[in-house]
Amino acid sequence: MKFEDKVARLRLEKYKGIETVEFLNDVKAMSEGEAFEYLMGTVDFCGAKIDLSLRPMIPRPETAHWVAQALEHIHNSPPAFTTRVLDLFSGSGNIGLAILKNIPESTVDMIEFDPKLAKQINISITKNNIKKTRTRVVTGDTWTGASGTYDYIFAVPPYVPPQMQDEVMKELGAEDPLSFFDKEDGYYYHKQVLSRAKEFLKSSGTLYLEFDITQRETIEHLALQNGWTNYSFLKDPYGHDCTIILTK
């Protein structure tokens, strides 16, 4: 979105068309690098209203593109009394919240490393009028807090190698780098997910795992190495493979 379009949306949606002092301060902040989404305070993600007041990673439209396809797949699956979902590396809770909003019979466990973001998820749960009995938000690393088995597991782990930090930080601007950088070579968390996901999936359960478009070949290799033979890929809006779908 062009800068002028962002200014127009700020004026119309946040300030009801009135150019207040606060509006002008927001425009100035945006010109200096503040994220438009943080200034707006919320962002729509597949029909869920994601609160950004505690400055989580801003949900990406590329992720929304494949999550919309996953939601369609769940809708078209045989009906279940309850669809049990695990959302790893939840961040703002955007994927878990989208599932809760779109799949009425679902329950979602969300695991997030940062305690601040666990609080952020709970703010969005309230804003979306979702019953707390349908959710469980856990502060932990990767599988910490996962319980029993799930019909679906969604994971968008940090996958930027540490050596790319200087380059990527120039693009991040206002966002916290914690959600972006892997511990090792860009695959540490993918390996954590692929090596244990079968323990937490029901029979014929499905794992959705996002990766960078440059990582496709290695992700496929890691999947095969961990015994996953039933898999396919989803593309981003630009035609690149960005998510692997693995079925137990």
Kindly state the average pLDDT of the residues 152-177: 74
Residue spans per domain, the chain: 1-40, 46-247
Question: Using one digit for the tens of pLDDT, what is the confidence trace for 173-230?
Answer: 666 766 677 777 889 999 999 999 999 999 999 999 999 999 999 999 999 999 999 9
3-class SS at 221?
Answer: helix
Reported in sequence order, the residue ranges of 135-230 that DSSP labels E, i.e. its strands, are 135-139, 150-155, 201-210
- The phi, psi pair for 196, rounded to 5°, reads -125, -10
Share of the chain above pLDDT 90, in %: 85
| pTM of the entire predicted model | 0.92
Residues 209, 213, 216: CA angle, nearest 5 degrees: 65
Count helices and strands (H / E) in the chain: 9, 9
Rg for the chain, CA atoms, rounded: 18
Kindly state the average pLDDT of the residues 220-243: 97
Please determine, looking at this structure, whether the domain spanning 46-247 carries the CATH number 3.40.605.10: no
Q: What is the per-residue pLDDT for 189?
A: 94
* Alpha helices (H) along the chain: 3-9, 21-31, 36-40, 61-76, 94-102, 115-127, 165-172, 188-196, 216-225
Count of all residues that appear for the chain in the document: 248
